[in-house]
A and B are shown apart, each in its own frame.
Chain A
Amino acid sequence: MDQNDLVVQMKGITKVYPNGIAANQGVNFSVRRGEIHALMGENGAGKSTLMKILFGLEQPTEGEIIVNGAKASFGSPTAAIAHGIGMVHQHFMLVPSLTVAENIVLGMVPKKSGMFIDFKKAIELTNEYAEKFNLAVNPVAKVADIPVGMKQKVEILKALIRGAKILILDEPTAVLTTQETAELFRELVHLKEQGYTIIFISHKLNEIKRITDRMTIMRGGKSMGVYETASITEQEISSLMVGRDVILAVQKDTAVPTDVVLRVCNLQYTNEWNKKMLDGVSFDVRKGEILGVAGVEGNGQRELVDMLFDLREPDSGTAAVNGKDVIHASQAKIRKLGVSLVPEDRMTYGIADAATIEENIISDRFNEKRFNNGPLFNMKAIHEESDRLIKDYTVLCKSRKQKVKMLSGGNIQKVVVAREFSSDPTLIIADQPTRGIDVGATEFIRKKLVDLSRAGTAVLLVSADLNEVMELSDSLIVLYGGKIAAYFEDTSQLDDVMMGEYMLGLKKQSAEEIGRVCHEG
C-alpha cells in the first residue's frame, strides 16, 4: 500500500493512566485518506483513549503519531485541530444558551471594526458551510431548543469550519433515533465523497457494516487487526470484539426451578433524552435458576438493573422480591430482602478504590452484630471474615490492608463478587460480571454463580457476552429496543445465529411465546 495514502498513522501507542490502568498497549492504527474507518470494540477496549490521544486530549506514554506523513505530537486539541483533526464527542460540547451560529464560531469569532462581534457574518458563515456539506441547521436557533440530531450537525460543522479534514466521531449514533441515524449516515457518505476522512467509533455491528470501508477492532487495550468491511462477517467481527472463540465450558446440572423470587411487571422507562428505554418488560426469576438477559448493549439492560436496585425510578410498572416491592425501597431495604448486585460499573458502585480490601468486603455487613462489640468494631471478626473471603475467592493480594485500586481488574471484581455472593442472597443480579477481566477470574466467577444457583439462589444474569449468557443461563430473554424480543425456556438447543437475529431485531417472538416467562404462582 502507498504510504502517502495513510493520512493518520499511530504506531505502538501505549497509555497508562495515573490509576495504573493500561488502556492502550502497543496499539497500531492507521487510516487511509478519504475512507470511513470504524474503530470497534467493547466498552473499555481502549477506543476512546486512542482517539483522545489522536485529538491531543491525552498524552501517550509511548508511541508516535504521524499525520500526513510527518511526525506530530499533540499537546492539546488546539494542536490537533491545526493539523486538520476534529472530534465530535459523545456528549456534546456546546453552549446551550447561545445560538447555533454563535456556537459554531466560538473561539474564532468574525469581528467588525476590530472589536465587535459580527453576528451577521457568523450566520452567513454557518449557512455557507451548512449548504456546502449538506448539513441543514438553523443558525439563529438557541442550541438548548434544537433536537439532538441537529446538535450533532452543529458539532460536525464546528469541526469542519476549523479546517478539519479528519473527523473523529465518538459513538455518534448512541443518542440518535433511527431516522436521525439514517440522515447522519447520508451526510457522512457525502463528506467522504468530498474527500474527508472519517473515524467512526462504535460497537454496533449493523451500523458499521452499512457505512464503513475498513475497520480496526480493539479488545482489552490491544488492536485485534485491521479488516476490509466487505470481506468480514458480523460473526467474525463480534468474535474478534469479545473473544468468543475462547469458549469456557461450565459444568452444570439441570436446573430445578421452584418458587418465583423476582417478579417484574410491565416496566416502562423513558430516559432524559426522551428515548423509551424500557417498554413493558415483564418476567419472573425463580429459585434455583439462572435467567439470562441477552442483547446488544443499550437496549435497556442497564435501565432494567438500575430500577431493580433503586438507582432509577421507572415511569410505571412493578418489581417485587418474594412479594415485597423493590421499586420504591432503598438499597439498604433491598439488601435486607436478600438481593445482591454485581454492578456493571464496578469502579463507581462496586468498590471504594482508595479503601482497603477489607473495608470493601464489609461494606454491606459492617452493621451486623457479629462485627461489633458495643460501639467498637470487633476487629478480630472482621479480619477473619475478610481473610476467609480473600482465600475462598482467591483474591490475589499482599494482604487485606492493600488498597483495592492497586489490584488488577479481575481481582477487583473478585472482591466485589466475594462480598455480593457471600451475604447468603436469595437473588443475585449479576450485571456483566466478567467484563474486562482475565480468563482465570472469569471462569471462577462463572462457576461460583452456577454453584449458588444450584444451592437455591435465584440469579438474574445480564451480559453482553453472548457466549456467557448462553453457557450460564438456564433460560434466557433477549432485550431489543427496550422490549423482550424472545424468551427461551431451555438454552441448551440455542445457536448464535438465531440469537443474533433476535438481538439485532430481525426477528421477534409472539406475545404468547414471550409471555411464558411469567410463571404461575
Chain B
Amino acid sequence: MKDKRMLGFELVRGAAAILLALAVGTIFIFLSSDEPFTALRYLLIGPLISIKGGLASFNTQGFYTILAAMIPTIFTGLAVCVMFSSNQFNLAGEGVVLTGGFVAALAGIYLHMNSGLHAVVCILIAAAVGGIIMLVPALLKVKLGASEMVTSLMLNYVCMYIVLHYLNFIFADRSKGSTQTFPFAETACIGSLVPGGSKLSWGFVAALVFVVIVALFMYRTRWGYAIRMIGINESFSKYSGMKVGGTIVLSQVIGGMLAGIGGSVEVLGRYSTFLWKELPGYGWTGVTIAILAKNNPLLVPLAAFFIAYLNKGCQLMATYCDVPSEMIDIIQAAIFLFFAAEQFLAGYRQKIVVKNTRADLAKAAAAEGGAE
C-alpha cells in the first residue's frame, strides 16, 4: 500500500519533470519564434508525423532515423548505468566512444577477414580498448583516492587529442579533401536493417540484445549485485565482506567496454570511413539517459528513444522554422534540473511520508495496546 504510494509518487514526479521541461522549452520558443505554433508542431509531432497539404501521415523513414540515432546512445546509456550503479560519477564515456570508434575503424581498414567475423573482431577490439581506458580513472580512484569525476572528464580530452593525432598524421587518406581514414573493408561494415537512407543498421538489434545482457548482469549475477550494493552503501558492502575496490574497477571497465562497443557499432554501421574530428557527444547523452532511466538498463531504450525523438524534433524545428537548434540544450537542461533536483516536489513527498509514518505508529500503538 505505502510502497505503491511511493511508486506512484516517482511516476508523477517523472512525468511532471518532463512536462515542466517542455513547458520551459515552449516559453523559449514563444520568445524566439515568429511562428511558435508551427515550431511546436515540428518539435512535438514532427519526428513521426509528416503533414503534407493538410494530410497527416506516419513518417516511416523518420521513425527509422530515430531508431538509428538510438544505437550509440543505448550503448553509452548502458555504460553509464553500470558505472553510476557503483556510485562512480565517471564521465569518460565520451572519449571512449571516440577511441572505440577509431580503433574499430582501423581494424576494419587494416585487418582482413571473412564478413561476419571481421565486424565482430573490430567491435571486440573497441570493447577491449574501452575497458583499458576506463582502468585509468578507476585505478586512480581506488588506489589513490583521486576523484573519478575529474580524472574521467579530463581523460575525454586526452582520448580526443590522441585519436586526432593518429588520424591527422598517420592514418589520414591524403587523397581526400577532408581529414578521414581510408574506407573500411566491406567485411567490417554492419549491414542495414531496413532499406532507405535511415542508417538503421543491425547495430540496433545488437543494442537491444545488450540491454537484456546488461539487465541480466546487473540484476541476476553476483557481480552486478555487488556493484549495486556498493553504489547504495559502500560501508555496508565492505562490512559484508565484498571486495569494494575490485568491484568498482570492474564496473568501470564494463562501462568502458560498453561505450567502446557503442562507438564501434556507430562508426561501422553509419559510415564508410572514420571522420569524427571532435567528441561525438554520445557519452554526454548517455549520462542524460542513465539519469532518466534511474540506472535501470531496461529503461534505457525508452530514455534513448525520448532523447532521440526530442533531438529530431529540434532539428526539424531548426530546419523549417526560425528557432535555433540550441533549443534542444535548453529543454534537456530543464529536464535534467527537474529530474536531478532531489527537492523537486519534496513537499508532496514529505506529506506521503508523514501519512505513512502516522499509519505505522498508529498500527504499532494498536498492536501494543492489544498485547497488554
Are the CB atoms of B240 and A364 closer together than 8 Å? yes
Contacts of B239 in A (CB 8 A): 309, 311, 331, 341, 343, 349-350
A79 contacts partner chain B, Cβ-Cβ < 8 Å: no
A359 contacts partner chain B, Cβ-Cβ < 8 Å: yes
Q: How far is the CA of A34 from the CA of B71 in the complex (A)?
A: 71
Q: How far is the CA of A115 from the CA of B211 in the complex (A)?
A: 61
Interface segment out of the listed B48-56, B174-182, B281-289, B346-354: B346-354
Known: A16-B354, A332-B242, A406-B2. A376 touches B216 (CB 8 A): yes
- Of the candidates B240, B346, B353, B364, which one forms a contact with A363 in the assembled complex, judged by CB atoms under 8 Å apart? B240
Contacts of B237 in A (CB 8 A): 352, 363
Contacts of A371 in B (CB 8 A): 222
Interface segment out of the listed B20-28, B39-47, B226-234, B319-327: B226-234
- Of the candidates A18, A330, A350, which one forms a contact with B346 in the assembled complex, judged by CB atoms under 8 Å apart? A18
CB proximity to A under 8 Å, residues B1-51: 2-3, 6
Nearest residue (CB) in B for A379 is: B220
Q: Which of B2, B216, B235, B236 has the most CB of A within 10 A?
A: B236
Nearest residue (CB) in A for B225 is: A366
CB distance from A412 to the nearest CB of B (A): 12
Q: How far is the CA of A21 from the CA of B350 in the complex (A)?
A: 11
Known: A18-B346, A18-B349, A367-B222. A350 touches B236 (CB 8 A): yes
Contacts of A348 in B (CB 8 A): 233, 235-236
Are the CB atoms of A372 and B222 closer together than 8 Å? yes
Contacts of A332 in B (CB 8 A): 241-243
Count how many chain B residues have C-beta atoms less than 8 Å from C-beta atoms of the other chain.
34
0 or 1 for each of A354-397: is its CB under 8 Å from B? (1 = yes): 11000100111011000110011101000000000000000000
Nearest residue (CB) in B for A402 is: B3
CB distance from A267 to the nearest CB of B (A): 20
B360 contacts partner chain A, Cβ-Cβ < 8 Å: yes
Q: How far is the CA of A61 from the CA of B354 in the complex (A)?
A: 8
Number of A-B contacts (CB under 8 A): 95
A47 contacts partner chain B, Cβ-Cβ < 8 Å: no
Contacts of A439 in B (CB 8 A): 368
Known: A16-B354, A61-B354, A332-B243. A352 touches B229 (CB 8 A): yes
Q: How far is the CA of A363 from the CA of B237 in the complex (A)?
A: 7
Contacts of B371 in A (CB 8 A): 440
Q: How far is the CA of A492 from the CA of B330 in the complex (A)?
A: 73
Contacts of A350 in B (CB 8 A): 236, 239
CB distance from A19 to the nearest CB of B (A): 8
Known: A352-B229, A359-B225, A377-B222. A331 touches B241 (CB 8 A): yes
B60 contacts partner chain A, Cβ-Cβ < 8 Å: no
Q: How far is the CA of A377 from the CA of B220 in the complex (A)?
A: 5
CB distance from B119 to the nearest CB of A (A): 25
CB distance from B363 to the nearest CB of A (A): 9
- Of the candidates B6, B232, B238, which one forms a contact with A355 in the assembled complex, judged by CB atoms under 8 Å apart? B232
A100 contacts partner chain B, Cβ-Cβ < 8 Å: no
Contacts of B357 in A (CB 8 A): 16, 20-22
Nearest residue (CB) in B for A19 is: B353
B57 contacts partner chain A, Cβ-Cβ < 8 Å: no
Are the CB atoms of A398 and B226 closer together than 8 Å? no
Q: How far is the CA of A403 from the CA of B7 in the complex (A)?
A: 12
Q: How far is the CA of A363 from the CA of B230 in the complex (A)?
A: 11
Are the CB atoms of A331 and B232 closer together than 8 Å? no
Q: How far is the CA of A371 from the CA of B356 in the complex (A)?
A: 35
Count how many chain A residues have C-beta atoms less than 8 Å from C-beta atoms of the other chain.
47
- Of the candidates A20, A351, A364, which one forms a contact with B241 in the assembled complex, judged by CB atoms under 8 Å apart? A364
0 or 1 for each of B196-234: is its CB under 8 Å from A? (1 = yes): 000000000000000000001000111001101100110
Q: How far is the CA of A275 from the CA of B361 in the complex (A)?
A: 41
0 or 1 for each of B328-372: is its CB under 8 Å from A? (1 = yes): 000000000000000000100110011011001100100010010
A438 contacts partner chain B, Cβ-Cβ < 8 Å: yes
A127 contacts partner chain B, Cβ-Cβ < 8 Å: no
Q: How far is the CA of A94 from the CA of B80 in the complex (A)?
A: 38
Are the CB atoms of A376 and B350 closer together than 8 Å? no
A408 contacts partner chain B, Cβ-Cβ < 8 Å: yes
Nearest residue (CB) in B for A398 is: B3
Q: How far is the CA of A406 from the CA of B4 in the complex (A)?
A: 12
CB distance from B239 to the nearest CB of A (A): 4
Nearest residue (CB) in B for A62 is: B354
Q: How far is the CA of A371 from the CA of B232 in the complex (A)?
A: 22
Contacts of B229 in A (CB 8 A): 352, 355, 359, 363
Are the CB atoms of B233 and A375 closer together than 8 Å? no
Q: How far is the CA of A254 from the CA of B340 in the complex (A)?
A: 58
Contacts of B235 in A (CB 8 A): 348-349
Contacts of B243 in A (CB 8 A): 332
CB distance from A318 to the nearest CB of B (A): 22
Nearest residue (CB) in B for A439 is: B368
Nearest residue (CB) in A for B355 is: A16
- Of the candidates B222, B346, B360, which one forms a contact with A366 in the assembled complex, judged by CB atoms under 8 Å apart? B222
Q: How far is the CA of A489 from the CA of B175 in the complex (A)?
A: 92
A171 contacts partner chain B, Cβ-Cβ < 8 Å: no
Nearest residue (CB) in B for A334 is: B241
Are the CB atoms of B233 and A352 closer together than 8 Å? yes
CB distance from B222 to the nearest CB of A (A): 5
Q: How far is the CA of A375 from the CA of B221 in the complex (A)?
A: 6
Nearest residue (CB) in A for B238 is: A331
Contacts of B2 in A (CB 8 A): 406
Known: A331-B239, A351-B236. A18 touches B216 (CB 8 A): no
Are the CB atoms of B364 and A355 closer together than 8 Å? no
Known: A359-B229, A438-B364. A16 touches B353 (CB 8 A): yes
CB proximity to A under 8 Å, residues B233-265: 233, 235-243
CB distance from A424 to the nearest CB of B (A): 15
Q: How far is the CA of A351 from the CA of B236 in the complex (A)?
A: 6
Are the CB atoms of A355 and B228 closer together than 8 Å? yes
0 or 1 for each of A238-276: is its CB under 8 Å from B? (1 = yes): 000000000000000000000000000000000000000
- Of the candidates A18, A22, A353, A362, which one forms a contact with B233 in the assembled complex, judged by CB atoms under 8 Å apart? A353
A25 contacts partner chain B, Cβ-Cβ < 8 Å: yes
Nearest residue (CB) in B for A221 is: B361
Nearest residue (CB) in A for B229 is: A352
Q: How far is the CA of A330 from the CA of B244 in the complex (A)?
A: 11
Q: How far is the CA of A18 from the CA of B352 in the complex (A)?
A: 9
0 or 1 for each of A206-233: is its CB under 8 Å from B? (1 = yes): 0000000000000000000000000000
Contacts of B242 in A (CB 8 A): 332, 363
Known: A20-B357, A408-B360, A408-B364. A376 touches B240 (CB 8 A): no
Are the CB atoms of B360 and A376 closer together than 8 Å? no
Q: Which of B221, B349, B357 has the most CB of A within 10 A?
A: B357
Are the CB atoms of A366 and B226 closer together than 8 Å? yes
A286 contacts partner chain B, Cβ-Cβ < 8 Å: no
Q: How far is the CA of A124 from the CA of B359 in the complex (A)?
A: 57
Are the CB atoms of A352 and B232 closer together than 8 Å? yes
CB distance from A82 to the nearest CB of B (A): 25
A414 contacts partner chain B, Cβ-Cβ < 8 Å: no
> 4 closest Cβ contacts across the A-B interface?
A332-B241, A363-B240, A352-B232, A352-B233
24 contacts between A and B (CB under 8 A): A16-B354, A18-B346, A20-B360, A61-B354, A331-B238, A348-B235, A350-B236, A350-B239, A352-B236, A353-B233, A354-B232, A359-B228, A359-B229, A363-B229, A363-B236, A363-B240, A364-B241, A366-B226, A375-B221, A376-B221, A406-B3, A408-B360, A408-B364, A438-B364
Q: B residues engaging A (CB < 8 A)?
A: 2-3, 6, 216, 220-222, 225-226, 228-229, 232-233, 235-243, 346, 349-350, 353-354, 356-357, 360-361, 364, 368, 371
11 other contacts beyond A25-B361, A438-B364, with CB at 8 A cut-off?
A16-B350, A18-B350, A22-B357, A331-B239, A332-B241, A343-B239, A349-B239, A359-B225, A362-B225, A406-B3, A408-B360
